[in-house]
Amino acid sequence: MRAILMLILVAPLATAQEPADGFYYLADAGAERVASDGSIVRLGEPVALRPTSVNLEVLDNSGTAFHLGLLVPGDGASARWLVLVVGGQAHRQHGRGTAGEDSSLVFVVAGGAAADRVAKHFGITVPRRVHPRHALRARFEPTRPRVGPRGAVEVTIHLENCGDKPLAFMNGHRSGGSRNNQLAFVARNGGRPVPDIGDADSSGGRVEMIRLAPGEVFRLAVDVRAWFALDQVGSYRLLGSYYLEIVDPSDWTRTLWEDYATADFTIEVAER
């Protein structure tokens, strides 16, 4: 009876030991852990790494998604995938490469609280996006508001900087496919939705930074038949949007904000 009572008292004291902060090899077997991004990882042997450079990059406006970039001496670290553990939370490796004689490692850090812990561990600050207070007027203008059931239907987007300071954004990084998927359209004909018949896949494209001084206008023409057949006679009401990656005018690699410029317009399709 006494032995049974002792077991009952002692058993609740046994707890699983959390892994120490640091790097671990990604293992194929063992206890599963949920990484900060929801993926499942298994910890292998610990790895002693001494990063020479640490950078935490914010990936969204709300500050919930981050990439942690590290440089470590030598190329041995890039041979196997790793897991970073901070405060008992695992973060999976997302990418790797070489930078001269060093290895570059990228880890996914999901969640603001997780980013705070990782930043404290490495002695860095957490970057946060701040709305740049941009003022941009968007307009979609058909070259010919009345078209036939065949042939190109060209529409030009006009983006005017209505603010009092320069504005910069990236153009072209979704234009490598059969259409420019930096733009998106929704169409209705007689109140009925029109199906998108185009290809939404994109292989990137030629990227350029667009700088607009106050009052300047950026123009880009596309054929909306890359999205819709527009082969039925009638009045089509379209809503167009252009994805904006607003960047620092002095450093195009630094994303300040992500947004969409939208406007609606009408196209009449008539028999020829």
End-to-end CA distance of the chain, in Å?
98
CA angle 74, 58, 97 (to 5 degrees): 25
The pLDDT, as a whole number, for residue 101 is 84
Q: Are residues 43 and 148 in the same domain?
A: no
Q: Are residues 159 and 103 in the same domain?
A: no
68 falls within a domain: yes
Q: What is the pLDDT of residues 217-229, one digit of tens each?
A: 999 999 999 999 9
Q: Are residues 244 and 141 in the same domain?
A: yes
Q: What strand order describes the sheet that includes 154-161? A: 136-142, 154-161, 217-223
Instruction: Report d(CA 28, CA 125) in Å as an integer.
Output: 33
Domain count, the chain: 2
Q: Are residues 58 and 117 in the same domain?
A: yes
Q: Are residues 148 and 112 in the same domain?
A: no
Q: Comparing C-alpha atoms, which of 196, 158, 159, 156 is closest to residue 178? A: 196
Q: Reduced to 3 DSSP states, what percent helix, strand and coil does the chain have, rounded to the nearest 5? A: 10, 50, 40
Q: Parallel, antiparallel, or unpaired for β 167-171 and 22-26?
A: unpaired
The pLDDT, as a whole number, for residue 100 is 82
Q: Comparing C-alpha atoms, which of 117, 113, 115 is closest to residue 87? A: 117
The pLDDT, as a whole number, for residue 182 is 93
Instruction: Report d(CA 255, CA 272) in Å as an integer.
Output: 47
Q: Are residues 180 and 238 in the same domain?
A: yes
Answer for the pair 64, 75: CB distance below 8 angstroms, yes or no. no
The pLDDT, as a whole number, for residue 98 is 85
Q: Are residues 52 and 163 in the same domain?
A: no
The domain in which residue 261 lies consists of: 136-269
Domain stop point among 64, 90, 122:
122
Q: Comparing C-alpha atoms, which of 87, 94, 88, 51 is closest to residue 70? A: 51
229 falls within a domain: yes
Q: Are residues 240 and 140 in the same domain?
A: yes
CATH code of residue 241: 2.60.40.2970
Q: Are residues 150 and 258 in the same domain?
A: yes
Q: Are residues 217 and 248 in the same domain?
A: yes
Q: Are residues 109 and 146 in the same domain?
A: no
The pLDDT, as a whole number, for residue 255 is 95
Q: In the chain, which stretches have pLDDT less than 70?
A: 1-16, 75-78, 175-176, 202-204, 272
Domain stop point among 100, 122, 144:
122
The pLDDT, as a whole number, for residue 47 is 92
